Copies of this chain bind each other. A is one copy, B any other.
């Protein structure tokens, strides 16, 4: 195909396909099929083929998909055929975990700087060796560096204000770990992660 305007729900599945492909590659596999991917991911094979068809034709009839080829294409589509600097705000336990997370590097991301408001933390290093900077300098630093992606790992009552600062400084993609729904201009993409929300989704199904 060649649609413009791919549904967001389709876009959201691509990183999962990419993750599965990288995993298969690490297993020295060279070819896979929509069937095999679907089985691994709990998704129907038709959906995988349909999703991919929004972006091109990546498979061969009778054979399937060349893993390395499809992986490269997905990386390109998702713009992770490059490294993205990410700015982290909040150097608490969660911030520490994110700063020292080894999984980002192989998937297109690099935590470029970390900020906090706590004077006891400012000037010290995070576990990964990153310097904790003063959140007062956040706006200026983001603007100067041109960072586009922010991760918010501050308490709920500070999150909206941090988000506003980041957006004001030019950030256009936010990953929010604070347990509130951020308000942002429609030009800014926001993803939210709240473990309690996920757990409560689960408990609905527990008698």
Contacts and interface: CB of A to CB of B under 8 A. Distances in A.
Contacts of A148: 206
The prevalent SS among residues of A at the interface is: mixed
A104 B200 CA distance: 10
Interface of A: 11-12, 14-16, 18-20, 23, 40-42, 77-80, 84, 86, 92-94, 96-98, 100-101, 103-104, 107-109, 127, 148-149, 151, 156, 172-175, 179-181, 183, 189, 191, 193-207
Given A14-B204, A15-B197, A78-B201, 6 more contacts: A23-B156, A80-B203, A93-B93, A96-B97, A104-B196, A173-B205
Nearest to A184: B42
Nearest to A8: B201
A197 B93 CA distance: 21
Given A19-B180, A107-B196, A79 B149 contact: no
Contacts of A98: 195
Contact of A183 (B11, B14, B40, B107): B40
